[in-house]
Amino acid sequence: MTDTATDAYSSFSVFDLEQTRTFYHEVLGLKVEDRNGMLTIHLPGGASTVAYASRNHQPARFTILNIVVPDLPSTVSDLARRGLEFERYEGTPAQTDSDGIYRANGPWFAWFTDPSGNVLALCERDLRTTDNN
């Protein structure tokens, strides 16, 4: 297959495309395009993902998208001022501090949900390229 594949992309379902467009574009500041009745969300670094409406949507309770930022506390503070609520995960190994940031063991993360309940994260390091030693 790898000899014949020309590209790859991820996708996820949502309840409402208009709410999704507003959230990803206006709240997160990402470029969003309508294509074939779906939304293409352009991600930092050049990749993209597709959101599509589904009447049977079930929110992903796992992280579907990690967005790397250079200064996590500043970004979390800015988004919180704009009304974004961060997950707390109290009483779990992923419990966050009062700012909504997980700062224990490893890279820092801050999780939140989109309007359809899908879990996203902000992180300060790209785990695909970071040596964990």
Residue of 70, 64, 61 lying closest to 108 (CA atoms): 70
pLDDT of residue 65: 95
* 61-106 pLDDT, tens digit each: 899 999 999 999 999 999 999 999 999 999 999 999 999 999 988 8
Question: How far is Cα 41 from Cα 26, in angstroms, rounded to an integer?
Answer: 12
- Please report the domains of the chain, with CATH numbers, ordered by start residue: 10-123 (3.10.180.10)
Beta bridge partners of 32: 41
The pLDDT of residue 130 is above 80: no
Pair type for strands 63-68 and 10-14: unpaired
* 13-69 pLDDT, tens digit each: 999 999 999 999 999 999 999 999 999 999 999 999 999 999 999 999 899 999 999
Q: What is the pTM of this model?
A: 0.87
Question: How far is Cα 76 from Cα 46, in angstroms, rounded to an integer?
Answer: 23
Question: How far is Cα 84 from Cα 114, in angstroms, rounded to an integer?
Answer: 9
